[in-house]
Amino acid sequence: EDQVTQSPEALRLQEGESSSLNCSYTVSGLRGLFWYRQDPGKGPEFLFTLYSAGEEKEKERLKATLTKKESFLHITAPKPEDSATYLCAVQPISSGSARQLTFGSGTQLTVLP
């Protein structure tokens, strides 16, 4: 069974204090790993897709990396507007024609001014 575990569940940072969020996964074969951002009361917003170990993607203060067992979302010098829940999802090779995703429970990030 495919599993995605995110840690920590919640993280509080001071503005400018860099940190990393972790996404550990267990799948029979990985087609892709996805990161989303979700603001309270809204739908998730797509951030990145990673396909293979060693791959990195960047967007503003966010950088996502991938190994064979986990992914990290690094946040450099965060600002209060980076506060959100960050979701990780995997797309197994075994997913059908619709390429469905399995999501983790998310990390709730709070950046204090």
Partner 1 sequence: DVKVTQSSRYLVKRTGEKVFLECVQDMDHENMFWYRQDPGLGLRLIYFSYDVKMKEKGDIPEGYSVSREKKERFSLILESASTNQTSMYLCASSAVGQGSYEQYFGPGTRLTVT
The answer to whether 106 contacts partner 1 (rule: CB under 8 A) is yes
59 sits near partner 1 (criterion: CB under 8 A): no
Comparing CB distances to partner 1, the nearer of 75 and 90 is 90
Residue 67 makes contact with partner 1 by CB under 8 A = no
Note whether 62 binds partner 1 by CB under 8 A: no
Amino acid in position 95: S
Q: At its nearest, how many Å lie between partner 1 and the CB of residue 19? A: 21
Q: What are phi and psi of 82, to 5 degrees?
A: -80, -5
- Measured from the CB atom, the residue of 59 and 99 that comes closer to partner 1 is 99
What is the number of other CB atoms lying within 10 angstroms of the CB of residue 25?
Answer: 23
Q: What are phi and psi of 11, to 5 degrees?
A: -145, 130
Q: Which residues contact 112 (CB under 8 A, 6 or more apart)?
A: 12, 13, 14, 15, 80
Number of chain residues interacting with partner 1 (CB under 8 A): 25
Between 78 and 106, name the residue whose CB sits nearer to partner 1.
106
Collapsing DSSP to helix, strand or coil, 68 comes out as coil
Residues binding partner 1 (CB under 8 A): 31-32, 34, 36, 41-46, 49, 51, 87, 89, 91, 96-101, 103-106
